[in-house]
Structure 1
Amino acid sequence: MRQIFLDTETTGLETRLGHRIIELACVEMVNRRLTRRHLHYYVNPDRDIDEGALAVHGISREFLADKPRFGEVANEFLDFIRGAELVIHNAAFDVGFLDYELNMLGLAPISTVCANVRDTLKMARELHPGKKNNLDALCDRYGVDNSKRSLHGALLDAEILADVYVAMTRGQESLIIDLAPQPGAQLEVAANRERRPAPVLRASDDELAEHARVLAAIQKESKGKCLWLPAEPPAQS
């Protein structure tokens, strides 16, 4: 499975006001492992940057003056993401800006190039309803180091998002086992062979105590709906 973790920085919040992408970053992951392949551009927007956006990312128009336009990097970007699943935090925002830029170039929208778009903000809201689910909050929740994130930056944020995603989805890896024989190896047919009884490993007192602590935390978080604890008897009238 090939995934691309993507982030952008922009001149402002709304494409209908003519705001543009000024930074674009993509980080590649294959089978839940970062490949160290990435794509990163600063882009000249040919327009001013809102003060509010500048305060968030610190990228000035003067810095972008000698950078390429989006049209100059669009084909390389599309080739990099082609066929992959895009993983984006608050995907509607980034995809909206990407489609806006592509439309101005007469190109098809992102959905025609990538296999799928996964929104980690939506995932986080489903996992942690009623809580803060911005990237910094998720880093705190899952123990991901974001100490270098003093300002928003597309490449750093894409790398952090990859770590957060792996932490959020830990335990959901595919259980499919590849049974294809390796070169020189032989598969042993043992359908009729008597199976030895599997050893039973008893949990220690410390492990049982930790298990009880985790269940209590789940019970509190789910407001009494932990499936691994017996239901409380109804109150007597």
Structure 2
Amino acid sequence: MERLIVLDTETTGIDPQEGHRIIEVGAVQIENREITNTEFHKYVQPNRIVGDSVKVHGITDKFLINKPQFNQISDDLLSFIEGSTLIIHNAPFDLGFLNHELKLNGVKTKVEDLCPVIDTLELSKEQRPGTMHNLDALCRRFGIDTSARTRHGALLDAQILAQVYLAMTGGQSNLFQETQNNEPQISHPSMIKKNKSNKEKIKVVFANEEETELHLNYFKN
């Protein structure tokens, strides 16, 4: 059975080439199309201030004091995802940060060299071109409860994305097609059966003159 790991990160910014770093990693395992309690979750000391990104995730510099640095969690993270298929929303973003952190630690191998990756952003674009594809939009589309998601959080977003992925790949799309076939359904002549065997035995009773006159007078009134 294929092992699926849904993964998300929180960072100090949007571009690792500008010195931004990972501050949270969250991942959850899917087994036999069930979201399990097998999870990976770590906060990371980024060796820089969080800055304006605190408005997105609410993780403060004070909170990150004494949290482990990425090189202290990287072995555990790689062991957790090894042998799995990764499910990531907007995968280039998270992979870019993860690979940058590994490179800073002298690891030349990239995450995508270790694990195949499914990008749910691209999957959504294939399924519903022309619609919105962010995580909030997908949750609305599939009726997934996000009331606990007041801010972004790596583990919480991974748990929500796991639900989204199962909904996207659940094979139920035919039940909710946006367009329906309104063409009249015509049975093939071979499917129509006429009972001719007792045709000669059928008794036909015609209306008499009085019944015919009553019938005609009824429609005159």
What interval of TM-score do these two structures reach, taking the shorter chain for normalisation? 0.7 to 0.9
Q: Distance in 2 between matches of 1:54 and 1:91?
A: 22
User: Where do residues 114-193 of structure 1 align in structure 2 (5 Å cutoff)?
Assistant: 114=115, 116-171=116-171
By how many angstroms is 1:86 displaced?
Answer: 0.3
Q: 2:80 aligned with 1:80, yes or no? A: yes
Runs of 4+ in 1 over 4 A off after TM superposition: none
By how many angstroms is 1:153 displaced?
Answer: 0.4
Higher RCO by CA contacts (8 Å cutoff, separation 6 or greater): 2
SS in 1 for 2:170: coil
Higher helix share: 2
Match of 1:23 in 2: 24
For structure 2, the 5+ residue unaligned runs are 184-221
For structure 1, the 5+ residue unaligned runs are 173-210, 220-227, 231-237
Match of 1:56 in 2: 56
By how many angstroms is 1:35 displaced?
Answer: 2.4
Q: Distance in 2 between matches of 1:94 and 1:111?
A: 11
By how many angstroms is 1:75 displaced?
Answer: 0.2
SS in 2 for 1:162: helix
Output one character per residue of 1:146-186: Cα deviation in whole Å (capped at 9) or x when no partner.
111010000100000000110111128xxxxxxxxxxxxxx
SS in 2 for 1:45: coil
Q: Distance in 2 between matches of 1:130 and 1:57?
A: 28
Letter in 2 for 1:218: T
% identity of equivalent residues: 49
By how many angstroms is 1:229 displaced?
Answer: 5.7
Q: Distance in 1 between matches of 2:104 and 2:140?
A: 39
Count residues in correspondence: 180
SS in 2 for 1:23: strand
Q: TM-score, normalised by structure 1?
A: 0.72
Letter in 2 for 1:43: V
Output one character per residue of 1:60-79: Cα deviation in whole Å (capped at 9) or x when no partner.
11110110000000000000
Match of 1:13 in 2: 14
Match of 1:218 in 2: 179
Match of 1:41 in 2: 42
Q: TM-score, normalised by structure 2?
A: 0.77
Structure with larger Rg? 2
Letter in 2 for 1:123: L
Output one character per residue of 1:13-67: Cα deviation in whole Å (capped at 9) or x when no partner.
001101000000110112211221000000000001231x211101111110110
Q: CA, structure 1 residues 229+2, in 2 after alignment: closer, same or farther (shift >3 Å)? A: farther
Q: CA, structure 1 residues 105+229, in 2 after alignment: closer, same or farther (shift >3 Å)? A: farther
